[in-house]
Amino acid sequence: MSQSVSQTHQDDDAHLKALGYQTSYSRTMSLWGNIALGFTYLSPLVAIYSLFALAVSTGGPPSMWWIVIVAAGQLLVALVFGEIVSQFPIAGGLYPWARRLWGKRYAWLISWIYVWAMLVTITAVIEFSTGYAMEIFGVEVTPESTLAFAIGILLVALLLNLGGTKTMSRIARIGLAAELVGVVGVGLFLLIFERKNDWSVFFDTFGKGDGDYMTAFVASALVGLFMFYGFEACGDVAEEVSNPGRRIPKAMYLTIFVGAVSALMSFAGYVMAAPNLISIVNGEDMNPIPAILESSLGVVGAKIFVGVAVLAFISCILSLQAAASRLIQSKARDGMLPASAWLAKLTPRTKVPRNALFVASVIPIILAIVIYAMPDTLVPITAFAVLGIYIAFQAVVLASLVQRFKGWKPAGQFQLGAWGMVINIAALAYGIWAILWLLQPGASGNFVADWASWLGLGVVLVAGILYMLIARPASKSDAPAGDAIEVANQMRAAAK
């Protein structure tokens, strides 16, 4: 280790100590490793492959513009998070941020929603990945094989995570390469060599909405909303990154920018290369991507792409596990969870929260078994995951805005200056719109499916509030809270 790197680590550790924590993790994650972690969690390949047909059948090809709209909104959120993590580069992301901005109970409840949303997201991504994996091995898709592959893929990701931060970072970079090949490479190939439709389709309503196209267009927003979270994972591993005050904010907004460009190329490529676009628009073909790939790349090319997709899925699951485990460990070391002493432990050699990783694997396995027994629960629990993530995000954005009105001026290495208040207000306005959209009930006539977001949020909230009132974890913790203004003033005084 060079002298300059050693000095940077010492400065990082001194900053962490001033915030009330001793260094436990190993700072071996590079900027690109951090970007790869966030990007593979965000995973445009997963989002496009999962929601392309739904978006086009709901809002037509112009639904692609939701990628731009949501990316812009989430970029505002990422800029707010960047100022917070720069002042508070603490493992666990949203939980310590909410704690230092607002208080213990607020942070506990918000992070309770957030961690369950992450665990459910792990389950959903695993379920989406099984079809690709089984296609590679030539296994027939049945409920039993789907469950077996779901558990197997999750255990592979767990073993890779147990290898340590360096291993996780390497796999994330491989996943980043797989994502870029899968979304950018294939997207560009389709756009350049396999165009079968005209660019004008991205401004053609195809009669959607029966004269009220805006309603149909807004209804297709899920393709963007489902995609653009995951950048916050860059902050979940703050204690494993050198110079986190500068690198993590950069990693977060670069994750969004690269993700948006990649997703646009991919979405546009599939639309332009679709041999029968009207059948997708009319909802007659709800799984069009395999056929598009086979017609454009051939059988062998399509198989290779499936292999790339599996790599991307595994990397996405690995990143989700890593982020969830750091959040669990962060709460546990503050004494805020049952069995906190056990959950807070790091392995002596690899410096990873092994027990928290086990929890972040066992619960998704249990949920996968539930889905095996009741297949109709996959969509409802996925709907809750997206809503829960957005609520947790906006709770932190709100806490940041409240502190700004009280006089907080962020004192980290990344600062928005005079634009901070404006960006914070805009981020909150965007987030409120997104949450209201996600809370809209469906119109299928199935009560559970139509009200899935409300039901999932209600169950998690009631359970969390009951535990908070009965066990009173906030009152048992002496970790610092609600001190954003005080810490910022101390940092400025120390810098003079």
DSSP 375: G
468 is a domain residue: yes
Residue 154 CA from chain centroid, whole number: 17
3 is a domain residue: no
Hey, CA dihedral for 91, 84, 249, 17, is it positive or negative?
A: negative
Q: How far is CA 192 from CA 202, 296, 448, in A?
A: 17, 11, 44
Are the C-beta atoms of 321 and 61 separated by less than 8 Å?
Answer: no
Residue 241 in 3-state DSSP? Answer: strand
208 is a domain residue: yes
pLDDT digit string (tens) for 185-205? 899 999 999 999 999 999 999
Q: Which of 205, 200, 199, 196 is nearest to 60 (CA)?
A: 205
Write down the pLDDT at residue 79: 97
Q: Which amino acid is at 199?
A: W
Assess whether pLDDT exceeds 90 at residue 329: yes
Q: Which of 274, 260, 233 is nearest to 179 (CA)?
A: 260
Write down the pLDDT at residue 110: 94
pLDDT digit string (tens) for 344-373? 999 988 889 999 999 999 999 999 998 898
Residues whose CB falls within 8 Å of the CB of residue 216, separated by 6 or more in sequence, listed in order: 58, 59, 60, 205, 208, 209
Q: How far is CA 307 from CA 135, 137, 144, 310, in A?
A: 9, 10, 22, 5
Assess whether pLDDT exceeds 70 at residue 2: no
- pLDDT tier for residue 169 given thresholds of 50, 70 and 90: confident
pLDDT digit string (tens) for 240-285? 999 999 999 999 999 999 999 999 999 999 999 999 999 999 999 9
Hey, CA dihedral for 404, 73, 208, 440, is it positive or negative?
A: negative
- pLDDT tier for residue 340 given thresholds of 50, 70 and 90: very high
| 388 vs 477: CA distance, rounded Å | 25
pLDDT digit string (tens) for 132-144? 888 888 899 899 9
Write down the pLDDT at residue 1: 52
* Residue 375 CB neighbour total at 10 angstroms: 12
Domain that residue 368 falls in: 8-16+25-495
2 is a domain residue: no
Average pLDDT over the chain reads: 90
Residues whose CB falls within 8 Å of the CB of residue 347, separated by 6 or more in sequence, listed in order: 162, 354
| 335 vs 329: CA distance, rounded Å | 10
| 93 vs 259: CA distance, rounded Å | 20
1 is a domain residue: no
Q: Which of 396, 385, 318 is nearest to 117 (CA)?
A: 385
Mean pLDDT of 299-315: 84
Mean pLDDT of 216-227: 89
Write down the pLDDT at residue 444: 67
- pLDDT tier for residue 5 given thresholds of 50, 70 and 90: low
Terminal CA-CA length for the chain: 29
Residue 36: which CATH number? 1.20.1740.10
202 is a domain residue: yes
Number of domains comprising the chain: 1
| 298 vs 271: CA distance, rounded Å | 18
95 is a domain residue: yes
Residues whose CB falls within 8 Å of the CB of residue 115, separated by 6 or more in sequence, listed in order: 324, 327, 328, 331
pLDDT digit string (tens) for 466-484? 999 998 988 878 888 999 9
Helix axes 378-405, 65-87, angle to 10 degrees: 50
Write down the pLDDT at residue 179: 83
Report the percent of the chain where pLDDT is more than 70.
99
DSSP 445: S
- 47-76: b or e for each residue (b if 16 or more CB lie within 10 Å)? bbbbbbbbbbbbbbbbbbbbbeebbebbbb
- pLDDT tier for residue 448 given thresholds of 50, 70 and 90: confident
250 is a domain residue: yes
* H or E element in which residue 408 lies: none
pLDDT digit string (tens) for 33-88? 899 888 888 888 888 887 899 899 999 999 999 999 999 999 999 999 999 999 99
